[in-house]
Structure 1
């Protein structure tokens, strides 16, 4: 199997391991047995930790990944994470993190490093054309709806705040104001909906986006995987890394992409927003908004 980014690779991984098991070396068989039984744990183990756990060298783990067609262990790990990240309960996430977060200094270091790695991975993998197209669709839309359920609602509000400074047709779908479908009932083919969706994927998010799609709206999803339900409906998908450090998801890369999207739209409306901010500065000064 040559490595590809085909989204079916992860779903086929376990069956591929099983089919190749008879021809594996003794060390590789130990790894295969452990992965099949504990793939939810292996998804967040380093190569050295996996090797230590099953009693083989780190280089044997790397060769095992190569034997499956992956260019390195991190890509095998990505495939395993795709298999399980939407299925882990919060309790399971806490249990997985127990041994890795022994003290406050370790927690701070691991979380910061994890976010740095996620931003770096996002920069390497995000589709620049999809980003450009998303920015242009936002500008020409009659109305822009922004959706984020649960923790993703914070990012939706953030993007909505800044887009609202640039444009006058932005609506953040609120979770505290009636049913969400009531807020998008007038959506049509001239509109855009921007949906943030991360594991565990909200069923309601998919339903709202599905409704918008059926009404002809342009769908922009900011999510972590082409496996994400909303990605299947999207016209533009902006993939961001969101590997879990623990029971708290890493939403920093999503916030960064939202920031970049707001700046991209703003730079296309540069002269208009300069006048707008000039008016705002006068208001802020008149009413002593800032010290």
Structure 2
């Protein structure tokens, strides 16, 4: 039985374990490391086998379950059994590229396209759930009411941060992009204050610059909206709101499909509860672009 009404799914359980982690005993930390790093095994293995894999006793796993509000380990484990998803077959870029080639050579019909479609639909289905909607409703007021909103992402996720800033700043001019060009990163991060919000995108393999930037933002007291792939992600710790997205794909590089969809959904939620001034901002932007000839007229 779950005595903690907040813990209703595997993600909530992992987040609670992450929050309690610094106060756990060394043995409970070993158990927590196992659960945070191997949630699928928690679902699939018996308590005895999970304990062996974690290097702890079964009673330690039971104590960990109780520490987050469960009477029995079985009740705790059931959350993970419900959340089991098939993981992608490769972990590194070159492995993924090799997987694509192997799949094509072993299958005369070359079903790469259809596997792309299946993974994209699966990722989006995981995104558009009640939990995501609830988090969007919490995140939108943070974005609207912040002194400034800083969008942050490096390498591939710079695309997400840039798009969020470009679209969002049309309606909300206080949204700005952390670029980090030509040695300006620390200067830009130095502008972050306690009443600001940082929207950060980061997926495994986690970018060092992003992790360091988030540490600076945390120390400044800013609220973090983390868009990542796991509650084990280094940007999830201490975040005000964490969105964990599936980015499974047969491609050699992680897909950004769910990230872009989530970012657009967040901005739509912000606009839906925004002020009339926000509508005026959008209208002013559009009129200015038209006046400058920014839209091709046929």
TM > 0.5 between the two?
yes
Counterpart pick for 1:227 among 207, 232, 238: 232
Does structure 1 conserve the Cα–Cα contact (< 8 Å) formed by 2:36 and 2:232?
Answer: no
- The residue matched to 1:100 in structure 2 has which SS? helix
Unpaired stretches in structure 1, ≥5 consecutive residues: 22-67
Counterpart pick for 1:159 among 161, 164, 169: 164
- The residue matched to 1:99 in structure 2 has which SS? helix
Counterpart pick for 1:280 among 277, 285, 289: 285
Aligned residue in 1 for 2:94: 91
Unpaired stretches in structure 2, ≥5 consecutive residues: 3-7, 15-31, 51-76
After superposition, the C-alpha distances for 1:102-153 in whole angstroms (9 at most, x for unaligned) are 4796222221221111000112374333221211111111111110111000
- The residue matched to 1:247 in structure 2 has which SS? coil
Task: Trace 1:181-260 onto structure 2 (pairs within 5 A).
Answer: 181-260=186-265
Sort the Cα spacing of 1:195 and 1:285 in 2 relative to 1 into closer, same or farther, 3 A: closer
Distance 1:90 1:198 in 2: 13
User: 1:203 deviation in Å?
Assistant: 2.0
Distance 2:182 2:141 in 1: 29
Aligned residue in 1 for 2:151: 146
Aligned residue in 2 for 1:127: 132
Does structure 2 conserve the Cα–Cα contact (< 8 Å) formed by 1:131 and 1:238?
Answer: no
Does structure 2 conserve the Cα–Cα contact (< 8 Å) formed by 1:143 and 1:169?
Answer: yes
Sort the Cα spacing of 1:104 and 1:266 in 2 relative to 1 into closer, same or farther, 3 A: farther
TM-score normalised according to structure 2 size: 0.70
After superposition, the C-alpha distances for 1:21-45 in whole angstroms (9 at most, x for unaligned) are 9xxxxxxxxxxxxxxxxxxxxxxxx
Query: How many pairs does the alignment contain?
Result: 238
Does structure 1 conserve the Cα–Cα contact (< 8 Å) formed by 2:247 and 2:254?
Answer: yes
